[in-house]
Homo-oligomer: A and B are copies of this chain.
């Protein structure tokens, strides 16, 4: 995960909590990596703790139950993606910035984050409503796409569907298109975005 510090770092460092948060982050990361390596069924509390270099008791100190851990994985991943999105949109003034960011985010199909996100998504299926908050987040993004941007509703929705589609295709390894193809598609939709301003 990258680009986590959205705001300026606190002037006074917190040595106390730094350790806790770092362990927490390590646990989250370890959980994703375990899922990626051994599948959802292989993600046991014991193995996650071991991978993170923490005892099982230590894990349960941070996450009271497996469910809590899984839900935190989803929230964390989505929040990180949201930050990246905002950051991308921020340096592109003008209408359709968020939609363009949405497409830029999936244009290259970089592997590193995608793999981890896939694991998280898979883990979310462990809990019946594990994707509930994910649905809410996607809904918020769609709303942002529709209202915050001065583009035609249909084209905005198209951008969202293409962005999500590419992202999910990557996530599950459903025969992702090659670099050239995905770039061409993103460019096509971006050009529609620009010419459909209103």
Which residues of chain A have a CB within 8 Å of any CB of chain B?
38-42, 121-122, 125-128, 130-131, 134-136, 138-139, 142, 153-155, 157-158, 160-166, 168-169, 172-175, 177, 181-182, 184-185, 188-189
| A154 and B122 contact, CB distance less than 8 A | no
Q: What are the residues of chain B within 8 A of A168 when measuring CB–CB? A: 164-165, 168-169, 172
Q: Specify the chain B residue showing the minimal Cβ separation from A188.
A: B154
Across the interface, which residues of B come within 8 angstroms of A136, CB to CB?
175
Q: Shortest CB–CB separation between residue A38 and chain B, in angstroms?
A: 7
Q: Are B142 and A175 in contact (CB under 8 A)?
A: yes
Interface-central residue, A127, A134, A160, A168, by most chain B CB under 10 Å = A168
B139 A175 Cβ-Cβ under 8 A:
yes
Q: Are B185 and A142 in contact (CB under 8 A)?
A: no
Return A134 CB to nearest CB of chain B, in Å. Answer: 6
Complex-state Cα separation, A181 to B161, whole angstroms: 11
